[in-house]
Structure 1
Amino acid sequence: MLDVTGHDGAGPATAARPKPAGRRAMIGLLGPAFVAAIAYVDPGNVAANLTAGAQYGYLLVWVLVAANIMAVLVQYQSAKLGLVTGKSLPEILGERLKPLWRRAFWVQAEIVAAATDLAEVVGGAIALFLLFGLPLPLGAVIVGAVSMGLLAVQARNQQRPFEFIIIFLLGIITIGFLAGLFVSPPDPAGVAAGLIPGFQGPETVLLAASMLGATVMPHAIYVHSALSRDRHRPDPHVHVPAPALARLVKATRWDVVVALAFAGLVNIGMLLLAASTLGGAEGTDTIEGAHAAITSSLGPVIGVIFAVGLLASGLASTSVGCYAGGSIMEGLLKVRVPLMLRRIITLVPAVVLLSVGFDPTWGLVLSQVVLSFGIPFVLIPLVVLTSNKSLMGRFADGMALRIAAVVSVILVVALNLALLWLTFASAG
């Protein structure tokens, strides 16, 4: 297959002639961001957004809006880094960090990846319970088995088919989580009030951190650079002329904006649905309770559609999460574990926790808090690298983008520090 560099894989690498930048050709370059966007609509998002909407109405809408704007920014930076350098973010960090720091960085990244996978497998298991009454541990095993099939497509270097499957599942997720809004539309005045930043005690700060961790996903930032590289620059030694590279960067910008717009719409829609439907209902602090309340208020059809969306979310996001974990390990440690083996290993914690009766919804929310604390560790290196002109050349971040990225990092760190202070203050 001929890629944008003009190298067909049959002969030596040659400089490319840029292709015409027509609309149809530009659309053909889209896709990697939609795979990364799946991480933004995983079951952890469902738990955090439903909890926020059910307990506090429209209060935290502003958190999702701000987080989604931040997500567009950082995902674009990650994809651009992979395109320009031909390397993933973990690879570049693995080359620049000293051995001890590289291993320490990998440990925190793996903890983040494990928290992600826990949320995704648990969410899929809950969906199977809601749809078919299957025990949660069995549901987790089934989710893991199906995700192996999806990963097998990626393992055979079939990037485009893998993207098409994930985009199809994203469509199901969108329908599943937004269908209820057509039956129970939100209050416009409440939505407008929710756009004004504010909290109501430590619990809302915890939820905000959870929502931020569920929206700006560290593993999605790591993996997006790898997805862009694998699609457009599988051989980093092939020279890509500046016009062709500029065209790829432009296509990537649109890819990220469109994909994250879908993800943001779904996230905000979940919170609005919970606020308009679940406010004051009993038992909505769990996904099962929220599903029961949605079914009771909006009818069984909407309840089934919601559960199908949750299942698609779990299946798609756990596949992408496992792929991200493999990219992180390979880039930082230069160790490549087969995706199937990694899938089996990372499935174990979720099955064990569900088998011992751990509250699945609370586990989902806590996993997103863990992700929130992992965000600075990926954002700070990303901002530094994409601002480095010796690495990025003419594609280095401009001043406006750099300032926006620094502000994002400061906001994330400030929110996490506030969360720590309020948690210990309330405990004392």
Structure 2
Amino acid sequence: MLHLAEQDPAAGGRSPVRGRKGPRRALLGLLGPAFVAAIAYVDPGNVAANLTAGAQFGYLLVWVLVVANVVAVLVQYQSAKLGIVTGRSLPELLGERLRPGWRRAFWVQAEIVAAATDLAEVVGGAVALYLLFGLPLPLGAVVVGGISMALLAMQSRNRQRPFELVIMGLLAIITVGFLAGLFISPPDPSGVLSGLIPGFRGPDTVLLAASMLGATVMPHAIYVHSALSRDRHRPDRHRHVPQHAVERLVRATRWDVIAALAVAGIVNIGMLLLAASTLGGVEGTDSIEGAHAAISASLGPVVGVVFAVGLLASGLASTSVGCYAGGTIMEGLLKIRIPLMLRRLLTLVPAVVLLAVGFDPTWALVLSQVVLSFGIPFVLVPLVVLTSSTPLMGGFVDRLPLRIASVVSVLLVMALNLALLWFTFTGAAGR
């Protein structure tokens, strides 16, 4: 019998809960998977969406980020709990339940979402290299892809902990890079409070809200978190696990998710507040390059460099996690496993081509996040159904309050997407 609370593969088989370690160190030893998943919530797509929202509409859409982060905490906890309790990832469980035709169709939409994610992350990293070193964007995309390969080489089921620590280090750099400017140009408190009141100001704000939602509640992060938790805590998923051990892991996972998403939420809101306090009314801030130039001019070149370093760390970390998520989706749904390095090469091509033909990188980032927002219901609905299944989850099935919150979240996302479709296809968006 495997007592997971007493045996952790990341700790070389030693207990992270008992033995010589105290309870606090034991808890810290169980943290990590949520911080890897949280990288998806501070990727370059977030930067483009949040800076655009803050620069164009001030504090108006702060409430969108608050709501999106609450939804993110909810769904990431459900995904991680699913992986721990069942010993299988969300794509695996869907692959077991869907008929072959539906399974392949579901994989296609999930791959489109993963491709949009990877596009945003590589493009963002390339823009950061251009800002820091003047590298041409296509070359920067190749460099980002090469570094992400090195990070992916570290990721395996036997070496997940070092990968988690590297990603957590990059998250620290991202946090400093994107929040440093707030200490020089703090936001207006009354403006922040007014931004907490839900509301829109025309169809353009609906488009931005959908982009911000797609950038904050990331479908591929929901898929991959179940696999990260499974691989970290249930490496031998076929062996029996006592309920008390699973309970301990689920409690630790709850704190893991809250801590990781709190950091990601603060960074996202901080980006919007920085744009609102610094970039409002400044010409040319509708691109990351323009926003960086305005930040450097307003707050000094040092802050500009720190911001660009944060953007680079965001691109490098998120593209590695995104590529790993794509592999998890394919393996779970199609039972096909290709080397991550090969997948990295294949998914790098669209971003390089897009940048080579001169497509606006910031607009590519914003549109990629809109694509992600349409993929959210496809992952949220199955997640809610599975975590509400007593035969599957046993005593860890979602309780009624959590089910209600999950259904409300799904309906909110679908309503926002329907509004976006209406504005887009009636020609109202962008007027």
How far off its partner does 1:424 sit? 2.0
2:55 corresponds to 1:54: yes
Q: Give the match for residue 230 of structure 1.
A: 231
Where does 1:110-149 land on structure 2 (aligned, <5 Å)? 110-149=111-150
Alignment partner of 1:426: what SS?
A: coil
Alignment partner of 2:146: what SS?
A: helix
How far off its partner does 1:345 sit? 0.3
Gaps of 5+ in 2: 10-14
2:401 corresponds to 1:400: yes
Q: Given that residues 323 and 339 in structure 1 are in contact (C-alpha distance below 8 angstroms), is that contact kept between their aligned partners in structure 2?
A: yes
In structure 2, how many angstroms separate the alpha carbons of the residues matched to 1:233 and 1:32? Answer: 13
Report the residue type matching 2:174 in the other structure.
I
In structure 2, how many angstroms separate the alpha carbons of the residues matched to 1:24 and 1:5? Answer: 13
Q: Given that residues 3 and 232 in structure 1 are in contact (C-alpha distance below 8 angstroms), is that contact kept between their aligned partners in structure 2?
A: no
Question: Percent identity of the aligned residues?
Answer: 80
In structure 1, how many angstroms separate the alpha carbons of the residues matched to 2:357 and 2:253? Answer: 44
Q: Given that residues 36 and 164 in structure 2 are in contact (C-alpha distance below 8 angstroms), is that contact kept between their aligned partners in structure 1?
A: yes
Q: Give the match for residue 13 of structure 1.
A: none
Deviation readout 1:305-331 (Å, 9 max, x if unpaired): 000000000000000000000000000
Alignment partner of 2:426: what SS?
A: helix
How far off its partner does 1:425 sit? 2.3
CA 401–8 in structure 1, closer or farther in 2 if over 3 Å, else same: closer
Q: Given that residues 67 and 215 in structure 1 are in contact (C-alpha distance below 8 angstroms), is that contact kept between their aligned partners in structure 2?
A: yes
* Alignment TM-score, normalising by the size of structure 2: 0.96
Q: Given that residues 4 and 19 in structure 1 are in contact (C-alpha distance below 8 angstroms), is that contact kept between their aligned partners in structure 2?
A: no
Q: Give the match for residue 292 of structure 1.
A: 293
Q: Give the match for residue 313 of structure 2.
A: 312
Deviation readout 1:250-281 (Å, 9 max, x if unpaired): 00000000000000000000000000000000
CA 186–17 in structure 1, closer or farther in 2 if over 3 Å, else same: closer
In structure 2, how many angstroms separate the alpha carbons of the residues matched to 1:304 and 1:5? Answer: 43
Q: Give the match for residue 372 of structure 1.
A: 373
Q: Given that residues 7 and 16 in structure 2 are in contact (C-alpha distance below 8 angstroms), is that contact kept between their aligned partners in structure 1?
A: no
In structure 2, how many angstroms separate the alpha carbons of the residues matched to 1:17 and 1:174? Answer: 28
Q: Give the match for residue 351 of structure 2.
A: 350
In structure 2, how many angstroms separate the alpha carbons of the residues matched to 1:8 and 1:36? Answer: 20
Q: Give the match for residue 206 of structure 1.
A: 207
Report the residue type matching 1:207 in the other structure.
L
Alignment partner of 1:100: what SS?
A: helix
Deviation readout 1:170-223 (Å, 9 max, x if unpaired): 000000000000000000000000000000111000000000000000000000
Q: Given that residues 147 and 318 in structure 1 are in contact (C-alpha distance below 8 angstroms), is that contact kept between their aligned partners in structure 2?
A: yes
How far off its partner does 1:155 sit? 3.5
Report the residue type matching 2:312 in the other structure.
L
Q: Give the match for residue 264 of structure 2.
A: 263
2:241 corresponds to 1:240: yes
How far off its partner does 1:18 sit? 8.1
Deviation readout 1:332-374 (Å, 9 max, x if unpaired): 0000010000000000000000000000000000000000000
In structure 2, how many angstroms separate the alpha carbons of the residues matched to 1:228 and 1:42? Answer: 21
Report the residue type matching 1:392 in the other structure.
M
Q: Given that residues 27 and 252 in structure 2 are in contact (C-alpha distance below 8 angstroms), is that contact kept between their aligned partners in structure 1?
A: yes
How far off its partner does 1:156 sit? 6.8
* Alignment TM-score, normalising by the size of structure 1: 0.96
Where does 1:375-394 land on structure 2 (aligned, <5 Å)? 375-394=376-395
Q: Given that residues 5 and 239 in structure 1 are in contact (C-alpha distance below 8 angstroms), is that contact kept between their aligned partners in structure 2?
A: no
Alignment partner of 2:164: what SS?
A: helix
In structure 1, how many angstroms separate the alpha carbons of the residues matched to 2:156 and 2:226? Answer: 17
How far off its partner does 1:93 sit? 0.2
Q: Given that residues 125 and 136 in structure 1 are in contact (C-alpha distance below 8 angstroms), is that contact kept between their aligned partners in structure 2?
A: yes
Deviation readout 1:128-176 (Å, 9 max, x if unpaired): 0000000000000000000000000004731000000000000000000
In structure 1, how many angstroms separate the alpha carbons of the residues matched to 2:124 and 2:17? Answer: 44
In structure 2, how many angstroms separate the alpha carbons of the residues matched to 1:356 and 1:8? Answer: 48
Count of aligned pairs between the two proteins: 422
Report the residue type matching 1:4 in the other structure.
L
Where does 1:143-182 land on structure 2 (aligned, <5 Å)? 143-155=144-156, 157-182=158-183
Report the residue type matching 1:305 in the other structure.
V
CA 17–128 in structure 1, closer or farther in 2 if over 3 Å, else same: closer
Where does 1:36-51 land on structure 2 (aligned, <5 Å)? 36-51=37-52
In structure 1, how many angstroms separate the alpha carbons of the residues matched to 2:420 and 2:312? Answer: 31
In structure 1, how many angstroms separate the alpha carbons of the residues matched to 2:158 and 2:245? Answer: 23
What RMSD, in angstroms, separates the aligned Cα atoms of the two structures?
1.7
In structure 2, how many angstroms separate the alpha carbons of the residues matched to 1:49 and 1:277? Answer: 13
Alignment partner of 1:265: what SS?
A: helix
Report the residue type matching 2:377 in the other structure.
P
Deviation readout 1:47-77 (Å, 9 max, x if unpaired): 0000000000000000000000000000000
Report the residue type matching 2:75 in the other structure.
V
Q: Give the match for residue 93 of structure 1.
A: 94
Greater shift in the superposed pair: 151-160 or 228-237: 151-160
Where does 1:27-38 land on structure 2 (aligned, <5 Å)? 27-38=28-39
CA 138–158 in structure 1, closer or farther in 2 if over 3 Å, else same: same
Q: Give the match for residue 74 of structure 2.
A: 73
In structure 2, how many angstroms separate the alpha carbons of the residues matched to 1:427 and 1:207? Answer: 14
Q: Given that residues 291 and 303 in structure 1 are in contact (C-alpha distance below 8 angstroms), is that contact kept between their aligned partners in structure 2?
A: yes
In structure 2, how many angstroms separate the alpha carbons of the residues matched to 1:329 and 1:3? Answer: 30
Report the residue type matching 1:403 in the other structure.
I
Q: Given that residues 17 and 244 in structure 1 are in contact (C-alpha distance below 8 angstroms), is that contact kept between their aligned partners in structure 2?
A: no
In structure 2, how many angstroms separate the alpha carbons of the residues matched to 1:392 and 1:48? Answer: 36
